[in-house]
Structure 1
Amino acid sequence: MMVAKHFLDFYVKSSLHVSLCYIAFYAVVSAHAGFTPGWIELTAIGTATLVGYNVAKYIHLLNEKFPYHYPIKLLTFLCSLVASITVIELGMRAFALFAFCTILTSLYSLPELLGKSFREIPILKLITIGASWSILAVLLPYAIQTDSIEELLNVINNEGIYGRLIQYSLFVIALCIPFEIRDLKYDPPKLRTLPQVVGTQNSEIIGLVLIAICALLEYLMASGFNVHGIITYIILAITALAIMGSDKIKSDYYASFFVEAIPALWLVLILLSSD
């Protein structure tokens, strides 16, 4: 039992879980857009996500000991090598997109700018995570398929994918709210996270409103009812229930394992529906 717990702790703390769940999210978004991602694509997505999350979580502990610090540092180093190789292999447009999202997420992990910590700007973490997750997932398939930046911009404008960018950003922000509520007992007040600013109950209400907006956008953008749309509504309903349970289920694994796995469930439902 202890061995299983140690493995699960390492699996979560090393960001392996979040990286696999983001791979699932990326595959779902790609499927909705009619793309089938390749292994190099998925490897780049997964390894870059793991490196990004571990840098954000542990950069301030670089010279200190933390649980599983040697294996996590080694895994992060190896993934950074793999991410560098695979991202370059995807081409310059993909590289530029990864670089942009890296800069975007770095706004939260950077310690200081102009004498003020980015971590002290209210709700910045939610915005950067939501934007970076959706921008990379939505635009990367187009960046790989097109031959120039100009063609990529034309495709983006013609495809009308701005609604999807907004929808997926709001979904990710809503999905992060259980984590924000869980971390109330760990976060110092100066971080000014959403629950610290508006309270737990209001944070849950905001999350439910965001999910309702996602459902409305799905209805407006979908061409009639189809299997993907129905599955999306199911996932949105599950996410809403997960948000409502945020302050009732106290286990750290509730957010970091079960809620995090909602995109993986989304992918499983899509794969089952395609058989």
Structure 2
Amino acid sequence: MKIGSALLNFYINGSIHVALSCYALMHLTFHMFQIPADESSALFVFFGTIVGYNFVKYDALVRVQRIAMRIQLKFIAALSLFAFVMVGYYFFQLQRITQVLSIIILAFTLLYTLPFFPNKKNARNWAGVKIYIVSLCWVGATVVLPVINAEIPITTDFFLKCLQRFILVFVLILIFEIIDVENDDPHLQTVPQQIGVKRTKILGLLLLLPFYCFEFLKINFDKNQLIVNLIMVSVLSLFIIYAKANRSRYYSSFFVEAVPIFWWLLVVFFDLRMIQL
């Protein structure tokens, strides 16, 4: 039991779970734009997510607070180093313009973590900014990057998917902020801190309406995607409704972060069902 718990904690704390969510969103983008699955770019984002998230989570602990590295943290450092090497390998398999885009996303990640100006806080501590920076990075990595790398024409569907993906990540972060509302620094000015938990839940539920309705505006309209999105929105709505302060860490770090994976599996299931029919 202890071994299973330790492995699960390493899986979550090492950012493998959130990286798998990004990987799932990459494959959803391939599906939605009918792009042949490009594992090089998908794995680039997967390993890049591990490096980026671990850097954001543990940089301050090691560099600023200078805490002693526990055994799990040493394993996470080794994982991050391996992921960094893999990021370098897959980086050179991307198109030149995609490489430039990935460097821009990296710059946002560094801005989010490191204080670039003397006596100034990093972007992570700028009041009310965190949720927008993270959402934009996810859109860039899981929509813009695969579409640009595939060199397909940019249509209105692209912008609709960018908005849809931004809303999804924004809503997921709202759930995290609701759960962490009592522990977050008041200076962060998270959404629940500004408007309250109840209004944050209402905001999250309202945002799911345009998220779902954008599907009707697509040029390449897909009826199956409407069914998949309806199931996914229903599940996400339940996560919003039942979110509350000091929920189990697994509620957000495992189950909520698994929503993109669940969404991808639904798409795969419906595709297999159509093939069988």
Q: TM exceeds 0.5?
A: yes
Of all paired residues, the percent bearing the same amino acid is 26
Distance 2:187 2:68 in 1: 24
Q: What residue is the counterpart of 1:145 in the other structure?
A: 150
Comparing 70-79 with 229-238, which one deviates more in the overlay? 229-238
Tell me by how many angstroms 1:220 deviates. Answer: 2.4
Tell me by how many angstroms 1:233 deviates. Answer: 2.0
Deviation digits for residues 200-240 of structure 1 (CA, Å, limit 9, x no counterpart): 11211111121112112222226555112220122122111
2:208 is aligned with 1:211: yes
Q: What residue is the counterpart of 1:149 in the other structure?
A: none
Whether the 8 Å CA contact 1:27–1:36 is kept in 2: the answer is no
Q: What residue is the counterpart of 1:28 in the other structure?
A: 28
Distance 1:182 1:189 in 2: 14
SS at match of 1:113: coil
Distance 1:266 1:70 in 2: 33
Whether the 8 Å CA contact 1:19–1:47 is kept in 2: the answer is yes
Distance 2:69 2:185 in 1: 18
2:273 is aligned with 1:269: no
SS at match of 1:74: helix
How many residue pairs get aligned? The number is: 267
Q: What residue is the counterpart of 2:14 in the other structure?
A: 14
Q: What residue is the counterpart of 1:109 in the other structure?
A: 113
SS at match of 2:92: helix
2:232 is aligned with 1:254: no
2:102 is aligned with 1:98: yes
Whether the 8 Å CA contact 1:111–1:119 is kept in 2: the answer is no
Whether the 8 Å CA contact 2:157–2:218 is kept in 1: the answer is no
Distance 1:215 1:134 in 2: 17
Q: What residue is the counterpart of 2:275 in the other structure?
A: none
Distance 1:27 1:183 in 2: 30
Distance 2:116 2:150 in 1: 38
Tell me by how many angstroms 1:119 deviates. Answer: 2.8
Tell me by how many angstroms 1:88 deviates. Answer: 1.7
Distance 1:257 1:121, change over 3 A: same
Whether the 8 Å CA contact 2:182–2:246 is kept in 1: the answer is no
Tell me by how many angstroms 1:141 deviates. Answer: 2.5
2:224 is aligned with what amino acid?
V
Tell me by how many angstroms 1:125 deviates. Answer: 1.5
2:81 is aligned with 1:84: no
- 1:162-201 alignment, distance < 5 Å: 162-201=159-198
Distance 2:52 2:32 in 1: 25
Deviation digits for residues 102-139 of structure 1 (CA, Å, limit 9, x no counterpart): 22233321235364322332332211111111122222
What TM-score, normalized to structure 2? 0.89
Which runs of 4 or more aligned residues in structure 1 lie more than 3 Å from their structure 2 counterparts after TM superposition?
112-116, 222-225
What TM-score, normalized to structure 1? 0.90
Tell me by how many angstroms 1:249 deviates. Answer: 7.8
Comparing 253-262 with 238-247, which one deviates more in the overlay? 238-247
Distance 1:222 1:74 in 2: 45
1:189 is aligned with what amino acid?
P
Show structure 2 runs of 5+ residues with no match: 273-277
